[in-house]
Amino acid sequence: MLGARRSRPSRHARVARAFLTAAVLGLVFGAFSQAAGAKVIWLCKPGQQPDPCTPGLSTTVFSPQLKPGRVEHPKQVKKPAIDCFYVYPTVSDQKTLVANRDIDPEERSIALFQAARYSQYCRVFAPMYRQLTLAGIAMGAKPSASDLKVGPSDVREAFRTYLQKYNHGRGFVLIGHSQGSFVLRTLIAKDVDPKPAVRERLISAILMGGNVLVKNGKGAGGDFQHISACRSAIQLGCVIAFSTFDQPPPADSLFGRTTVKGEHVLCTNPAALGGGSGMVTPILPSKPFAPGTQIAIGNLLLHIKQPMPSTVWSTEPGSYSARCSSAGGANVLQLRALHGAQVASPSPTKEWGLHLLDANIALGNLIAIVKREAVAFAIDHRALFL
Could you give all domains of the chain from N- to C-terminal order, each with its CATH number? 31-56+72-277+363-384 (3.40.50)
With contact defined as beta carbons under 8 Å apart, do 210 and 223 qualify?
Answer: no
SS3 232: coil
List for the chain the helix, strand, coil content (%; round to 5).
30, 20, 50
Residue 81 has pLDDT above 60, yes or no: yes
Whether the per-residue pLDDT at 376 is higher than 60: the answer is yes
Average pLDDT estimate for 265-284: 98
For residue 260, the Cα-to-chain-centroid distance in whole angstroms is 23
Which secondary structure element, helix H or strand E, spans residue 325, and what is its range?
A: strand 320-325
Contact 61, 317 (CB under 8 A): yes
Torsion of CA 338, 343, 349, 351, to 10 degrees: 10
- What Å distances lie between residue 312 and 41, 293, 303, 367, CA to CA? 26, 21, 22, 16
Pairing between β-strand 263-265 and β-strand 213-215 as defined by DSSP bridges: antiparallel
Q: Residue 142: helix, strand or coil by DSSP?
A: coil
Q: Is the pLDDT of residue 44 over 60?
A: yes
Q: What pLDDT was estimated at residue 9?
A: 44
CA distance 228 to 237: 8
Q: Which residues contact 308 (CB under 8 A, 6 or more apart)?
A: 286, 287, 288, 314
142 pLDDT band, cuts 50/70/90, is confident
pLDDT higher than threshold 70 for residue 130: yes
pLDDT tens digits for range 172-196: 999 999 999 999 999 999 999 999 9
User: Cα–Cα distance between 237 and 286 in angstroms, integer?
Assistant: 33
| Residue 68 in this model has a pLDDT that exceeds 80 | yes
Q: Which residues pair with 215 in a beta bridge?
A: 263
Q: Report the distance separating Cα 130 and Cα 106, nearest Å.
A: 14
pLDDT confidence bin for 38, thresholds 50/70/90: low
Q: What are phi and psi of 129, to 5 degrees?
A: -145, 155
Q: Whole-prediction pTM value?
A: 0.90
Q: Which amino acid is at 123?
A: R
Given a cut of 50, whether residue 26 has pLDDT beyond it is: no
Main-chain phi, psi angles of 51, to 5 degrees: -135, 105
pLDDT category of residue 43 using cuts at 50, 70 and 90: very high
* Residue closest to 100 by CA, chosen among 160, 41, 170, 54: 41
Nearest to residue 91, comparing CAs of 113, 104, 106, 111? 106
Please, what is the end-to-end C-alpha distance for the chain in angstroms? 84
Q: Which residue(s) pair with 333 in the sheet? A: 244, 324
Q: How confident is the model at residue 27 (pLDDT cuts 50, 70, 90)?
A: very low
Q: How far apart are CA 118 and CA 74, in angstroms?
A: 12
C-alpha neighbours within 13 Å on the C-beta side of residue 198:
18
Phi, psi of 135 (to 5 degrees): -65, -45
Whether residue 18 has pLDDT greater than 60: no
**Section 53-64 average pLDDT:** 98
Nearest to 180 by CA among 80, 243, 270, 90: 90
pLDDT at 17 over 70: no
Alpha-carbon span 372 to 375, nearest angstrom: 5
For the chain, give the number of residues: 386
pLDDT digits (tens, 9 = 90+) for 147-157: 889 999 999 99
User: What value does the mean pLDDT of the chain take?
Assistant: 90
| Contact of 267 with 257, CB cutoff 8 Å | no
